[in-house]
Chain A
Amino acid sequence: MADIRYTEDHEWISVEGKVGTIGITDYAQNQLGDVVYVELPEVGREVAKGDETAVVESVKAASEIYAPVGGKVTAVNQALEENYGLVNEDAAGAGWFMKLELSDPAELDGLMDEAAYAEFVKSLG
């Protein structure tokens, strides 16, 4: 089973082998409201942990998505272009943004696991 980690910016990363799939959490999509656009990075781009790699937009808000870990973009979710609503309908699944080939899996250690993230969200009230 894939290991899913979370950031304080409400992104999730699900890692299988060397490849991590990245999206935003259900809490995040709920806060944003109806997602109308996602600006995705170019495949092949190298990103460092914390780099701005995508932008997710609702009607009234735009949020930068920062790479939770460093790596190389190997794929982006083409299905979003047809239906940005996937982010709202299935943030943790079909609404994923991109896949990264991790440059340093140890960077995952700094991220929250599911229980810690649930606790974090609770603390936001």
Chain B
Amino acid sequence: MRYLPLTPEDRRQMLARVGVSSIDDLFEDVPAAARLDGLVDLPLHQGELAVERELGALAARNVAAGSVPSFLGAGAYRHHVPATVDHLIQRSEFLTAYTPYQPEVSQGTLQMLFEFQTQVALITGMEVANASMYDGATACAEAALMACRLTRREKVVLSGGLHPHYRDVTKTSVKFGSVHLDIAEPDPDGAEDLAARIDGETACVIVQNPSFFGRLKDLRALADACHAAGALLVVVVTEVVSLGLVASPGEMGADIVVAEGQSLGVPLGFGGPYVGLFACRQKHVRQMPGRLCGETVDQDGRRGYVLTLSTREQHIRREKATSNICTNAGLCALAFSIHMTLLGEAGLTELASLNHRTAVALADRLARVPGVEVMADAFFNEFTLRLAKPAAQVVETLAGKGILAGVPVSRLYANRPALENLLLVAATECNTEADGDRLASALEEALR
């Protein structure tokens, strides 16, 4: 067994040192009724080749997004990941280290986290950011709870442009508490009036920009309305590349910004692992969930980094912690940070611009297809189409022709006839003009 170094002779000598005659003696605390004498009913061990072959066969039964024209978004985006990123995150010292509890031998992870926190704060336009959450959806739920702690209020308003998974995870997190949610109807037209929902009990309004339906909005008036009522504005971003081109949530008055960081450095991977970004104002930092890295000096006066403000966390505060989170998304945060470092100011701006231009060109191309209405006026790299037929059916038809056409809104909103014909289409730097032409002509055929 290739992962087990002990030999039978080692085991014999070691049992002798321990002073027992067999390994069973070390399991004697297990109640007799629960001891397994034989093996569980699963296959026996296999060599590397056999495992690779079997799992390779499973992988081959999936259509890789990169092998066909693909226009899926809705909170997960296919971007090109520079080769440097995947090489670096597989360095043993990053890949096989634990959470940096011993800072003297974890400066690599810690300095990286300090840089990551700074990058996240900069792109979101906020003052501080934490060392990551599981994903955007769980970060959104944590933001709702944090806003309630900060304002000592218990009503949370959710925009109808919020990703349905983010809404549902937030719902789950308040399910057994006293916080209640005021959830707006799905808002493909960008017509909702969230300010009208704010009252003296409102802890925060949670709004996504660009929205789930791809719409960009100026949030400044909403921020003012929140602040006038003593509430906070939480802004969700599911496509962080947009921050290279669009005014930051901080600039628009957000108090807390949460985002899905997958777009940079992290592959689609069927939905995970991803990386949640969480940023806020400095004055609120003690109510922020998750790990934080801070700068300090060592005893020789050299600059170094440590995990800090840990008294907010479960291992010290136990039932009074700000969150139960422990393990977060360290390696995905590293991938995000390396990709962001490769991009830098110029690269992020160019990448965002390229995404936007590609999407605009695609929207214009699709608008010429009979039976297709492009619903968006202002958008980044994703927009909603209203089709002449149910979108799920069209997507299935196009999948049969080797085109991943987008995400039917009905996939996330079940049993909503009014949304049945809506299709979310995203374009990134990975999409070519030829991809767009194929999609347009296939749509034309399917809608005929």
Contact = CB atoms under 8 A, between A and B. Distances in A.
Question: Does chain A touch chain B in the assembled complex, meaning CB atoms less than 8 Å apart?
Answer: yes
Interface of A: 36-37, 39, 57-62
A39 B309 CA distance: 13
Q: Is the interface of B mostly helix, strand, loop or mixed?
A: helix
A28 to B, nearest CB: 16
Contacts of B324: none
7 A-B pairs with the lowest CB-CB distances in the bound complex, closest first? A62-B311, A57-B311, A62-B317, A62-B316, A61-B316, A60-B316, A37-B311
Given A58-B311, A60-B310, A61-B316, 7 more contacts: A36-B311, A37-B311, A57-B311, A60-B316, A61-B311, A62-B316, A62-B320
Contacts of A39: 286
Interface of B: 286, 310-311, 316-317, 320
A62 B317 CA distance: 7
B304 to A, nearest CB: 15
Contacts of A61: 311, 316
Contacts of B317: 62
16 contacts: A36-B311, A37-B286, A37-B311, A39-B286, A57-B311, A58-B311, A59-B310, A59-B311, A60-B310, A60-B316, A61-B311, A61-B316, A62-B311, A62-B316, A62-B317, A62-B320
Contacts of A58: 311
A60 B312 CA distance: 10
B299 to A, nearest CB: 14
A60 B286 CA distance: 15
A61 B312 CA distance: 10
Contacts of B316: 60-62
Nearest to B318: A62
A39 B311 CA distance: 12
Contacts of A60: 310, 316
Contacts of A59: 310-311
Nearest to B317: A62
B89 to A, nearest CB: 30
B100 to A, nearest CB: 15
A79 B124 CA distance: 34
A60 B311 CA distance: 7
A59 to B, nearest CB: 7
B102 to A, nearest CB: 14
Nearest to A59: B310
Nearest to A39: B286
A62 B310 CA distance: 9
Candidate in B286, B311, B317 with the most chain A CB atoms within 10 angstroms? B311
Contacts of B320: 62
B405 to A, nearest CB: 53
A42 to B, nearest CB: 11
A66 B310 CA distance: 22
Nearest to B315: A60
A92 to B, nearest CB: 24
A32 B358 CA distance: 58
A116 to B, nearest CB: 30
A70 B317 CA distance: 25
A57 B321 CA distance: 13
Contacts of B311: 36-37, 57-59, 61-62
A12 to B, nearest CB: 23
B360 to A, nearest CB: 50
A39 B310 CA distance: 15
Contacts of B286: 37, 39
A39 B287 CA distance: 12
A59 B308 CA distance: 8
A15 B266 CA distance: 61
A25 B310 CA distance: 24
B306 to A, nearest CB: 9
Nearest to A52: B320
A11 B310 CA distance: 24
A65 B286 CA distance: 18
Nearest to A62: B311
Candidate in A36, A37, A60, A62 with the most chain B CB atoms within 10 angstroms? A62
A57 B317 CA distance: 10
A60 B101 CA distance: 12
Nearest to A60: B316
A58 B286 CA distance: 14
A36 B308 CA distance: 11
B92 to A, nearest CB: 30
A17 B154 CA distance: 40
A23 to B, nearest CB: 19
